[in-house]
Amino acid sequence: MTVLKLGFPILFSLMVSFVCLLPSFTLIKPMDYNMSMDWDLILTLDYITFFFVLVVLSVSYSVFSYSWGYLHNDQWWNKFIMVLFVFVVSMLLLSISGSVFFSMFGWDGLGLSSVALIYFYRGWVSFHSGLVTFYCNRFGDLFLILSIILVSASDLLFFEYSMFLVVGALTKTAQFPFHVWLPMAMAAPTPVSSLVHSSTLVTAGIYILMRYYHSISPLSLEFMFWVSFMTMIYSGLKSLLELDLKKVIAYSTLVHLSMMITFYSVGDFYPSLVHLACHAFMKSTLFMMAGVMIHNNWGYQDSRIMSSSTITYPMVVFVCMASCSSMVGLPFLSGFYSKELMLSESLQDSSLTIPFITGIMGLFFTSAYSTRILLSISISNPYKLVLIDWASSKLMLNPITLNFIGLVVLGSILVHFDNNSNLSEAIYLMMNQKILMLHVFVFGMITGYLISKYPQSTEYNKINYNNKNITEYFPMFELSWSTVVISSNSISWINTLKMFWINSSELSKLSSFKIFMLILTIFTVYSVLF
């Protein structure tokens, strides 16, 4: 409790200080930022730093308050809050440090503290999740260190340095094939997921990419584009398949991260930066609301057993609906401005580009899994349990106010912050494009509704279930299983492993191919009717 009392004033004072210093910030592009091994302690104050510090301090303040209502009765509460505070300090050090040497302290502190937070419950699943997260992050750290060595050794190795930098950043951002660690990290407490795995740790890689934007070669940008595109397709399908509420939100985070990297790799990164800040408030709020429902459902996070919160906790349903609406991009929430800016920037050169198609696909997946989430928390059935804990719920709902304000008004403020963007043309799409987005939105809602009504197993799991899923450890396995054209020997071998490894209580009975065929059928019928 002492750490909590000291942490709140510090975080709040730092946040107020940065807001007061906003007029004095020099709005410089990262073209003046060089990656070199500088041993001096240099502080960087530009608009990229301001974005990240604003997000980290605002979300951290809400999460620290939220953690008190969620875990204050836990025996390891003091250790938890100290490790969480170390994580916040590491993220701030990475954001404001102008030298690569001191940035590595913040980068490494993020990885170590996040692993410690994942292992908080000390279960078998927590151990495996922390171990996989540790190895994935260490792999990315190796490539980042190699990129620093190459740029310090010679200027002739620009392509190799650029590729190593991109791979190191993509591992921290959980892009394919390193996306496996983010869903597994949901074994951590919900406050950790709200801060670490939705708005800070996974955005550290994007921060590195934006900071060294001028140091990335065109071939590396093209490689980054296709990797993020593959990640968005995979995570979008998984968000429709997953039954664990926190993992659904985790895969939705991957969808939005992939969209940011896709638009970053094809042009100006400022729209991605705006969406990153808005997405942090949306997703942290959604994770907090998921934590309230998990807390009041006896620790169960299976979406099939979630109790209806429409009557018992109408505020939870309202905030979740606002957060999902902002993620979809409904007017005039924060997500509307950031997504509108990204899509319009992608159409500056041609009427229909691959990035615009990527944005449309992201809108479809977001609409579909948002419908699933809202249906799972608002529609009751006889198998659902309920626990009324008004005291703890009030402590967890009060800190949501700051995040709720952010997901409502932040986008309209930040979208006009960059003087170099032609916002008078970029903020508006043509009418036929808006109608297309409306049709995709309705199509996604129909798909999410039909998937949520599909008969599923009634075996439920608690928060610390001990199951082993081969698709979480070897992501290429599920892609092979979902492929249509495979040999007969491969079918028998894959089915044997599938029956042995996959726990039916975690994955639904729908395969990726069935989901694809369902989407194709709905799209065909929808096209004929409309």
Q: Which residue has the higher pLDDT, 451 or 479?
A: 451
* Residue 47: pLDDT over 50: yes
**How far is residue 209's CA from residue 276's CA, in Å, rounded to a whole number?**
13
What pLDDT does 519 receive?
A: 56
Residue 141's contacts (CB-CB under 8 Å, 6 or more residues apart) are 107, 108, 111, 168
**Within this chain, do residues 387 and 270 fall inside the same structural domain, yes or no?**
yes
Using an 8 Å Cβ cutoff, are 289 and 318 in contact?
no
Q: Give 479's pLDDT tier (boundaries 50, 70, 90).
A: very low
If asked whether residues 178 and 119 sit together in one domain, one would say yes
246-255 per-position pLDDT tens digit: 888 889 889 8
Tell me if 24 is assigned to some domain.
yes
Number of domains composing the chain: 3
Number of neighbours of residue 43 by Cβ within 10 angstroms: 10
In a domain, 230, yes or no: no
Question: Taking 80 as the threshold, does the pLDDT of residue 193 lie above it?
Answer: yes
Q: pLDDT tens digits, residue range 419-439?
A: 554 444 445 567 777 788 788
pLDDT of the residue at 502: 36
Instruction: Return mean pLDDT, the chain.
Output: 71
195 and 265 in a single domain? The answer is no
Residue 418: its pLDDT value, please? 58
The Cα–Cα gap between 455 and 451 comes to: 9
pLDDT at 448: 85
Which residue among 464, 491, 513 closes a domain? 464
Question: Both 257 and 200 in a single domain?
Answer: no
Q: Which pLDDT belongs to residue 457?
A: 44
Residues 433 and 525 in one domain: no
Exposed / middle / buried, residue 124 (Cβ in 10 Å: 0-12, 13-18, 19+): middle
On whether both 308 and 415 belong to a single domain, the answer is yes
Q: Same structural domain for residues 432 and 409? A: yes
SS3 annotation, 272-314 = HHHHHHHHHHHHHHHHHHHHHHHHCCCCCCECCCCCCCCCCCH
∠ Cα 199 82 399 (to 5°): 50
Domain end marker among 464, 486, 521: 464
Same domain for 172 and 257?
no
Q: Kindly state the average pLDDT of the residues 297-316.
A: 69
pLDDT at 458 over 50: no
Range from 245-254, 337-346, 436-445 carrying the lowest mean pLDDT: 337-346
Residue 483's pLDDT band, with cuts at 50, 70 and 90, is very low
Give the tokens for residue 93: 């050090």
Question: Which range among 4-13, 45-54, 73-82, 225-234 has the greatest average pLDDT?
Answer: 225-234
Within-domain flag for 447: yes
What does the pLDDT read at residue 77?
80
Task: Note whether residue 244 is domain-resident.
Answer: no
Say if residue 445 is in the same domain as residue 500.
no
281 and 428 both lie in a single domain: yes
Return the higher-pLDDT residue of 34 and 503.
34
The lowest-confidence range among 49-53, 283-287, 309-313 is 309-313
Q: Which of 112-126, 143-157, 430-444, 478-492 has the lowest mean pLDDT?
A: 478-492
Decide if 155 is inside a domain.
yes
Query: In this predicted structure, what is the pLDDT of residue 217?
Result: 82
Q: What's the CA gap between 40 and 43, in Å, rounded? A: 10
Give the model's pLDDT for residue 218: 85
Residue 305 vs residues 187, 252, 468, 502: alpha-carbon distances, Å: 18, 20, 21, 20
232 inside domain: no
**Are 354 and 499 contained in the same domain?**
no
Check whether 3 has a pLDDT greater than 50: no
Look at residue 491 and tell me whether its pLDDT is greater than 50. Answer: no
**CA dist., res. 328 & res. 335, Å (int):** 7
The per-residue pLDDT for 509 is: 41
DSSP state, residue 197:
I
Please, what is the angle between helix 77-96 and helix 2-20, to 10°? 20
Query: How long a stretch of residues is the chain?
Result: 530
* CB neighbour list of residue 248: distance below 8 Å, 6 or more residues apart: 239, 242, 303, 369, 372, 373
> Which residues constitute the domain of residue 454?
252-464
143 shares its domain with 269: no
Neighbouring C-beta atoms of residue 416, cutoff 10 Å: 12
Single out the residue in 196, 216, 236 at which a domain terminates: 216
For residue 99, being part of any structural domain is answered with yes
| Three-state helix/strand/coil letters over 445-504 | HHHHHHHHCCCCCCCCCCCCCCCCCHHHHCHHHHHHHHCCCCCHHHHHHHHHHHHHHCCC
